[in-house]
């Protein structure tokens, strides 16, 4: 077929594309593609997207207009997004590969009846589930504040034996929240009146012999994307400071039913990105000059600072893992669908997960056991249980490790001077090379902790099996997240209210939402089909092993969030005095910049809905190392 410009323009006009520029661009691109397919001398290629193209495309899509500054911010993202299409196309998806989402019309039409029992939903933790038991009668400390860093098991033991009261414990944590919030900025709203009433009720019930389980009377904090009746639910974002959602999220209802005491709604980066919210930046208790990372910024900071008994965070792409690493907490990111998200802010319907951030893996397991299970409202919730038992024999588990992540780092490739390099270009190249060298030094330093973990596992008689992640274009699938997020917050972009958000940089939500408007529907579906391959190949990997040991960052974080696999993040020691010094400015992009005396972490991965196995193994490692007992000196 020979392309005819006149016929092509006529066809565009008939199709309703009236602008003379856009059909001209389309014609040029089509002609280039045909030339490449025909083996012409000139390779097929696409012109770089420019501001004029954005204007025409925005007009066709019915969005915008965008300012010159906004268009300039979008250009790199749009060109990079288009490059990602090629990586997905290179997979040559067969016709029998479906997208990685499921449509349930019957569930959307009416809520399903929950298939979890009343005990499973509301009172799953009874005295029989407490690992250490309640046989040994503990003694209360002279000062109740000495319990600030106690575990759930320790606190519940004291409460059960009536050595302390929930009211005294609640008042202690409320006082610490008020004392340290000016320094760490982790509170959005104290729920003091609600907490005092819950604590008094818990004391009355325990005194009457009505024990609801190991969370009964324990104060906790909620990431402020969980709705709580009578209190603002701000999502950490400018423009939503006074938003009130008149319901309790399912997770809140379940913790209420378990007798837990909600003391605060804690910070999150605006609309679940980073650690900057409308009131400032949440800080790392180990180094308050730095942010806590995010987006579960407040939950991790408050737990690490001994200001709540435990917290609930969420993760879409690193939001439990990253702040748990930076703040030295234990975090459990459950399998996708294990915990219902009813009453929680939606960012990505196919990736959002709610999970606990605590002081130990034991604590995480107790909390997850309380909040897991379908609620008949969240149509993505899976009809599976978190079958946790501390008695599970972790020695029977097959344990793999991502070998390439523990191998020596490849040689550092610094940027070479280009012909005709200007002084300005030379200066930029030098700065870039210096930054790469600094980042390499930090990674090399932290690698010693990764290798020490393998050595420790060997001392535990764990036979480590080398494995690798499936070789797939993981990064090219991540625009799925921003496409869903842009849909979830469509009104912000369309009305211009996105200008109220605190952060307005190239990598922040307002710019990401604008870029996502140009993600083609076909490419979204193709990326979801690639995601199906990812889920299938990851399942095959976990046919070979039960648990995988890995550093917390890098490719696995993207991969397992796309596939929905669970992860347990544990503290893995503190950097020494010889650690590389932290940068003067924390850009929020790296978790390894804490400097001397700050925590490092290790991650354990598992198969879908095999969360209990992962938690059991992570618990064994934690008990063998004891790093969860280290706390910042505030």
Where residue 104 falls among pLDDT bands split at 50, 70, 90? low
Task: List helix spans (H) across 372-422.
Answer: 403-406
Tokens read off for 123: 């009172």
Measured on CA atoms in the order 380, 384, 385, 390, is the torsion positive or negative?
A: negative
Encoded tokens for 517: 């408007």
CA distances from 431 to 233, 425, 437, 590 (A): 42, 10, 10, 18
Residue 521 belongs to a domain: no
Q: Is the backbone peptide bond immediately before 295 cis, with ω within 30 degrees of 0? A: yes
Q: What is the pLDDT of residue 506?
A: 86
Nearest to 468 by CA among 398, 536, 537: 537
CB 560 within 8 A of CB 535: no
Alpha-carbon distance of 502 to 143, in angstroms, equals 41
**Count of domains forming the chain:** 1
Residue 560 located in a structural domain: yes
Sign of the torsion formed by the C-alpha atoms of 551, 552, 553 and 556: positive
Q: Alpha carbon 447 to chain centroid distance? A: 23
DSSP structure class, residue 333? E
The catalytic site residues sit at 223, 295, 319
pLDDT at site 111: 53
Tokens of 513: 């939402």
- Write down the residue that tokens 């990586």 correspond to: 87
Residue 391 lies in a domain: yes
Q: What is the band of 106 on the pLDDT scale with cuts at 50, 70, 90?
A: low
Coarse DSSP helix, strand, coil percentages of the chain, rounded to the nearest 5 percent: 45, 10, 45
pLDDT at position 61, please?
Answer: 73
- In a domain, residue 371? The reply is yes
Q: What is the mean pLDDT of the chain?
A: 88
CA distance 302 to 176: 9
pLDDT in tens, 64-84: 888 999 999 888 888 888 888
Domain presence at residue 309? yes
Handedness of CA 287, 293, 298, 304 (dihedral sign): negative
pLDDT digits (tens, 9 = 90+) for 479-506: 999 999 998 998 898 889 999 898 898 8
Nearest 5°: the CA angle 367, 119, 222 is 30
Question: Which of 453-460's residues contact partners 24+ apart within 8 Å by CB, and which partners?
Answer: 453/549, 453/572, 453/602, 453/621, 454/401, 454/406, 454/549, 456/621, 456/624, 456/625, 457/399, 457/549, 457/621, 459/624, 460/620, 460/621, 460/624
Q: pLDDT tens digits, residue range 17-46?
A: 344 344 334 334 344 444 444 443 333 467
- Of 109-118, 334-343, 378-387, 429-438, which range is least confident? 109-118
Task: Please determine, for residue 4, whether its predicted confidence score (pLDDT) is greater than 50.
Answer: no
Mean pLDDT, residues 376-395 taken together: 90
pTM comes to 0.86
Q: Answer whether residue 596 is part of any domain.
A: yes
pLDDT-derived band of residue 291, with 50, 70 and 90 as boundaries?
very high
Give CA–CA dist 224/266, Å, rounded: 5
Using the predicted structure, report yes or no on whether residue 398 has a pLDDT greater than 80: yes
| φ, ψ for residue 364, nearest 5 deg | -55, -45
**Strand 353-358 relative to strand 330-333: parallel, antiparallel, unpaired?**
antiparallel
How far is CA 530 from each of CA 335, 478, 534, 554, rounded to the nearest angstrom?
Answer: 19, 11, 6, 20
The pLDDT-based confidence of 107 (bands split at 50, 70, 90) is low
Residue 413 counted as domain residue:
no
- Write down the pLDDT at residue 82: 83
Instruction: Decide if 231 contacts 265 (C-beta within 8 A).
Output: yes
Distance CA 557, CA 602 (A): 12
Calpha distance 367→354 (Å, rounded): 11
Where does 460-590 have alpha helices with state H?
474-477, 479-488, 490-495, 509-516, 521-544, 555-563
- CATH at residue 158: 3.90.1300.10
Return the higher-pLDDT residue of 521 and 61: 521
Two structure tokens written together for 105: 């019309």
Give tens-digit pLDDT for 458-483. Answer: 999 999 999 999 999 999 999 999 99
Across the range 278-306, mean pLDDT stands at 97
Q: Residue 126: is its pLDDT beyond 50?
A: no
Q: Which domain holds residue 570?
A: 138-399+546-629
Residue 220 lies in a domain: yes
> What is the greatest pairwise CA distance in the chain?
90
| Residue 191 pLDDT exceeds 80 | yes
Q: 11: pLDDT confidence band, cut at 50, 70 and 90? A: very low
């Amino acid at each position: 077929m020979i392309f005819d410009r006149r016929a092509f323009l006529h066809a565009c006009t008939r199709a309703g594309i009236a602008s003379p520029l856009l059909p001209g661009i389309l014609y040029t691109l089509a002609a280039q593609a045909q030339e490449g397919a025909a083996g012409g001398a000139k390779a097929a290629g696409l012109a770089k997207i420019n501001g004029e193209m954005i204007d025409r495309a925005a007009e066709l899509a019915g969005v915008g207009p965008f300012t010159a500054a906004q268009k300039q911010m979008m250009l790199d993202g749009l060109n990079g997004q288009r490059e990602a299409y090629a990586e997905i196309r290179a997979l040559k998806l067969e016709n029998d590969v479906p997208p990685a989402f499921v449509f349930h019309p019957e569930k959307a039409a009416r809520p399903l009846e929950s298939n979890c029992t009343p005990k499973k939903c509301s009172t799953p933790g009874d005295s029989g589930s407490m690992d250490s038991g309640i046989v040994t009668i503990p003694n209360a400390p002279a000062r109740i504040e000495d319990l600030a860093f106690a575990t759930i098991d320790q606190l519940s033991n004291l409460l059960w034996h009536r050595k302390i009261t929930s009211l005294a414990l609640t008042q202690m944590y409320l006082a610490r929240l008020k004392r340290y919030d000016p320094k760490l900025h982790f509170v959005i709203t104290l729920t003091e009146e609600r907490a005092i009433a819950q604590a008094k009720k818990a004391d009355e019930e325990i005194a009457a012999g009505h024990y609801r389980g190991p969370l009964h009377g324990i104060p906790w904090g909620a990431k402020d994307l969980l709705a709580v009746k009578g209190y603002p639910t701000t999502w950490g974002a400018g423009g939503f400071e006074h938003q009130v959602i008149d319901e309790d999220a399912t997770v809140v209802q379940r913790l209420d039913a378990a007798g837990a005491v909600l003391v605060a709604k804690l910070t999150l980066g605006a609309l679940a990105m980073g650690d900057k919210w409308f009131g400032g930046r949440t800080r790392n208790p180990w180094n308050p000059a730095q942010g806590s990372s995010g987006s579960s910024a407040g939950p991790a900071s408050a737990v690490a600072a001994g200001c709540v008994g435990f917290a609930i965070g969420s993760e879409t792409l690193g939001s439990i893992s990253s702040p748990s690493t930076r703040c030295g907490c234990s975090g459990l990111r459950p399998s996708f669908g294990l915990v219902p998200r009813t009453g929680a802010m939606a960012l990505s319907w196919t990736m959002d997960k709610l999970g606990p951030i605590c002081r130990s893996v034991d604590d995480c397991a107790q909390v997850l056991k309380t909040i897991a299970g379908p609620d008949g409202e969240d149509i993505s919730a899976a009809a599976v249980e978190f079958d946790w038992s501390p008695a599970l024999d972790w020695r029977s588990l097959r344990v793999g490790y991502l070998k390439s992540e523990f191998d020596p780092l490849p040689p550092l490739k610094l940027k070479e001077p280009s012909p005709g390099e200007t002084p300005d270009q030379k200066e930029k190249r030098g700065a870039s090379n210096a930054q790469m060298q600094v980042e390499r030094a930090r990674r090399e330093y932290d690698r010693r902790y990764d290798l020490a973990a393998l050595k420790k596992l060997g001392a535990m008689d764990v036979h480590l099996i080398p494995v690798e992640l499936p070789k797939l274009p993981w990064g090219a699938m991540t625009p799925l997240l921003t496409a869903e997020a842009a849909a979830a917050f469509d009104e912000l972009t369309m009305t211009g209210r996105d200008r109220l958000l605190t952060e307005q940089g190239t990598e922040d939500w307002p710019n990401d939402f604008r870029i996502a408007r140009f993600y083609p529907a076909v490419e979204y579906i193709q990326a979801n089909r690639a995601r199906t391959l990812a889920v299938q190949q990851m399942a095959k990997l976990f046919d070979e092993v039960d648990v995988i040991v890995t550093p917390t960052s890098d490719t696995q974080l993207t991969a397992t969030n796309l596939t929905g696999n669970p992860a347990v993040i544990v503290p893995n020691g503190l950097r020494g005095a010889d650690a590389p010094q932290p940068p003067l400015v924390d850009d929020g992009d790296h978790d390894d910049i804490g400097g001397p005396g700050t925590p490092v972490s290790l991650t354990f991965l598992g198969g879908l809905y095999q969360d209990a196995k992962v938690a059991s193994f992570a618990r064994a490692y934690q008990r063998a190392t004891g790093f969860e007992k280290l706390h910042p000196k505030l």
